[in-house]
Amino acid sequence: MATSKFPTQKDGSETFSQETAVVVFVLGGPGSGKGTQCPKIVEHFGFTHLCAGDLLQAEIESESENGTMIQNFKKEGKIVPSAITVKLLQQAMQLSDNKRFIIDGFPRNEENRTAFENIMKIEPEFVLFFDCPEEELTKRILNRNQGRVDDNIETIRKRLKVYFESTLPVINYYNSKGKVQKIDAQRSIDEVFEDVKSVFSKLKPVARVGSMN
């Protein structure tokens, strides 16, 4: 059996600690532009981009015992337990030479949120929320998903329903704590990024990925 490709510890782990890590959650509905804006944030502000879905898929492909378990959850149509997802995020952060992270599309629900805070003992610096109305999200997904199996309107409605029922309460929770930076995501990519830059520019200067201070 192969071992996990995400080891639990990393030599030189002084580059990462829960006390010094800066975490930004990036949330918004499917089609809101998270996947477009995150690489721009990495390029301009030196953050490391983590995506929970990508980490889960990488673990499956590693054929580790953990990956087999994740695969089985997916095959059975079950949600992967939040603790597993958080542990993968934690390990990826420990492997990074950076201390600042944008976590894309996570937490998706309240269980994700509480698991992250309980395991990591970190609250996000802020939540970057790409706000976009349902009609616009539907139109964008239909346009980008042409030819894909899941491009029918019923599947899109189900995805949006899950988002509004599960993820919006997370955004509302952080909003009540004054931690949400809302971006109007209906505009052009460049216009949206101007607002994103304004938000991130308020943080202290960020070391480039891979640099050591």
Residue 78, annotated ligand binder?
A: yes
- Residue 57, SS3? helix
Side chain identity, residue 14:
E
Determine whether the annotation assigns residue 116 to a binding site: no
- Is-contact 57 135, C-beta < 8 A? no
Q: Contact at 8 Å (CB) between 6 and 96? A: no
Residue 179's CB: how many other CB atoms inside 10 A? 17
Residue 33 marked as a ligand binder: yes
Residue 140 counted as an annotated binding residue: no
159 annotated to bind ligand: yes
List beta partners, residue 99: none
Is 32 a known ligand-binding residue?
yes
53 annotated binding-site participant: no
Respond yes or no on whether the N-terminal peptide bond of residue 81 is cis (omega within 30° of 0): no
Is residue 120 within 8 Å of residue 86, measured between CB atoms?
yes
112 is in an annotated binding site: yes
Q: Is there a binding annotation on residue 144?
A: yes
Is residue 149 marked as binding? no
- The reply, when asked if residue 105 is annotated as ligand binding, is yes
User: For the purposes of burial, counting CB atoms within 10 Å of the CB of 5, is it exposed (0-12), middle (13-18) or buried (19 or more)?
Assistant: middle
DSSP per-residue letters across 10-42:
-TTGGG--TTT-EEEEEEE-TTSSHHHHHHHHH
Q: Confirm whether residue 36 is marked as ligand binding.
A: yes
> Is 107 one of the annotated binding-site residues?
yes
Contact yes or no for 24/125 (Cβ under 8 A)? yes
Q: Which positions make up the binding site for ATP?
A: 31-36, 144, 187
**Annotated binding residues for a ribonucleoside 5'-phosphate:** 78-80, 105-108, 148, 159
Residues making up the binding site: 31-36, 78-80, 105-108, 112, 144, 148, 159, 187
Instruction: Please report, in range form, the residues annotated as the binding site for CMP.
Output: 112
